[in-house]
Structure 1
Amino acid sequence: MRRQVSGVVAKRGLWEVHRDPYDVSRVWVRNHRGNGEWVQATWKYLNRAPVPFG
């Protein structure tokens, strides 16, 4: 999904992303090209930099 448009014209090709403010280790991205399911994206460098934006 990286560097690709979502295909949603109303959102100018941006992806729909949800996050849990109490758990920064993952986010969910809606796959509009498939069945509309949510794809979990985990934080790749969580074990190296445990403080987000720090």
Structure 2
Amino acid sequence: MRIGDATVDVKLLSKQGTLQADIINPSGYKIILEWKGQTHISKETQISITM
């Protein structure tokens, strides 16, 4: 998935709900987001990222 010029790698780590998104942008820094708790992932799921 791409957000602007950033490349985003999203992984669902467990069914109980650790969703990890690694964001690597062209400046070379990496942001790791972890969402823990109940997750309900479907084709319609949207992840909003504000920087």
* TM-score for the superposition, normalised by structure 1: 0.41
Q: Which has the higher contact order (CA 8 A, sep 6+)?
A: 2
* TM-score for the superposition, normalised by structure 2: 0.43
Name whichever structure is richer in strand by fraction: 2
